A and B are shown apart, each in its own frame.
Chain A
Amino acid sequence: MSAPLLEVEELRVAFGDTAAVRGASFTVARGETHCVVGESGCGKSVSALAVMGLLARGGRRAAGRLAFDGQDLLALPERAMARLRGDRVAMIFQEPMTSLNPAYTVGSQMAEVFTRHRGGSRRAALDRAAGLLAKVGITAPGMRLGQFPHQLSGGLRQRVMIAMALMCDPELLIADEPTTALDVTVQAQILRLLAELQRELGLAILLITHDLGIVARVAHKVSVMYAGEVVESGPTPALFAAPSHPYTRGLLGCVPVPGKVRRDEALGSIPGVVPRIRPGFQGCGFRDRCAHAAPACEGAVPRQQAAGGHAYLCRLPPGWAEAERAA
Chain B
Amino acid sequence: MTAPDDRGAEGPGGLDRPRRDTTPAIEVRELRKTFRIRGGLLGQDRQVVAVDDVSFAVPTGGVLGVVGESGCGKSTLARLILGLLPPTSGDVLVEGQRLSAMDRRARARLIQPVFQDPFASLNPRRRIRDIVAMPLVAQGGIPARQVRDRVQEMLARVGLTAEQGERFPAQLSGGQRQRVAIARALVLRPRIVICDEPTSALDVSVQAQILNLLAELRRELNLTYLFISHNLAVVEHVASEVAVMYLGRIVERAEADALFRAPRHPYTRALLASVLTPEPGLGVPDVGLGDTLPDPANIPPGCRFHPRCPVAEPRCARQAPRPVDGAECLLLEAEQRPAA
Contacts and interface: CB of A to CB of B under 8 A. Distances in A.
Interface of A: 39-40, 137-139, 153-156, 183-189, 191-192, 195, 210-218, 236-237, 240, 250-259, 261, 263-264, 266-271, 273-274
Contacts of A188: 273-274, 276, 284-287
B192 to A, nearest CB: 19
Contact of B212 (A40, A192, A251, A267): A267
A255 B278 contact: yes
Nearest to A237: B280
A185 B278 contact: no
Contact of B274 (A187, A212, A259, A264): A187
Q: Which of B176, B215, B232, B280 has its CB near the most chain A CB atoms (within 10 A)?
A: B280
Given A253-B208, A254-B204, A264-B215, 15 more contacts: A39-B204, A137-B291, A138-B291, A155-B293, A184-B230, A184-B232, A184-B271, A184-B276, A185-B289, A216-B278, A250-B205, A258-B232, A258-B236, A258-B277, A267-B237
A-B pairs with lowest CB-CB distance, top 6 = A213-B276, A269-B208, A39-B203, A254-B208, A184-B274, A270-B205
Contact of A258 (B70, B175, B275): B275
A85 to B, nearest CB: 28
A213 B275 contact: yes
A273 B212 contact: no
Query: Which of A192, A237, A269 has its CB near the most chain B CB atoms (within 10 A)?
Result: A269
B280 A154 contact: no
Contacts of A255: 204, 233, 277-278
A313 B31 CA distance: 55
A39 B206 CA distance: 10
Interface of B: 69-70, 173-176, 203-209, 211-212, 215, 230-234, 236-238, 240, 256, 260, 270-287, 289, 291, 293
A155 B71 CA distance: 13
Contacts of B234: 256
A236 B276 contact: no
B215 A266 contact: yes
Contact of A195 (B208, B270, B284, B289): B284
A218 to B, nearest CB: 6
Given A39-B205, A255-B233, A267-B211, A183 B280 contact: no
A266 to B, nearest CB: 5
Contacts of A195: 283-284
A217 B276 contact: yes
Nearest to A41: B203
Given A185-B289, A251-B205, A258-B275, A217 B233 contact: no
A212 B70 CA distance: 22
A237 B272 CA distance: 23
Nearest to B308: A185
B198 to A, nearest CB: 13
B205 A218 contact: no
Contacts of B69: 183-186
A187 B273 CA distance: 12
A253 B240 CA distance: 22
A306 to B, nearest CB: 15
A263 B276 contact: no
Contacts of B208: 253-254, 256, 267-270
Chain B CB within 10 A, most for which of A191, A258, A266: A258
16 contacts: A155-B293, A183-B230, A184-B231, A184-B275, A184-B276, A186-B69, A195-B283, A212-B204, A217-B276, A218-B284, A250-B205, A255-B278, A258-B233, A258-B236, A263-B237, A267-B211
A185 B236 contact: no
A212 B278 contact: yes
Nearest to A212: B278
B13 to A, nearest CB: 21
Nearest to A195: B284
B291 A139 contact: yes
A256 B215 CA distance: 14
A259 B237 contact: no
B339 to A, nearest CB: 35
Contacts of B240: 263
Contacts of A259: 236, 260
Contacts of A258: 232-233, 236, 260, 272, 275, 277
Contact of B233 (A253, A257, A264, A274): A257
B286 A192 contact: yes
A68 B283 CA distance: 28
B280 A217 contact: yes
Contacts of B203: 39-40, 210
A270 to B, nearest CB: 4
B307 to A, nearest CB: 13
Contacts of A139: 291
Nearest to A262: B237
B276 A211 contact: yes
A257 B260 CA distance: 11
A79 B233 CA distance: 47
Contacts of A261: 237
A285 to B, nearest CB: 14
A273 B211 contact: no
Nearest to A181: B70
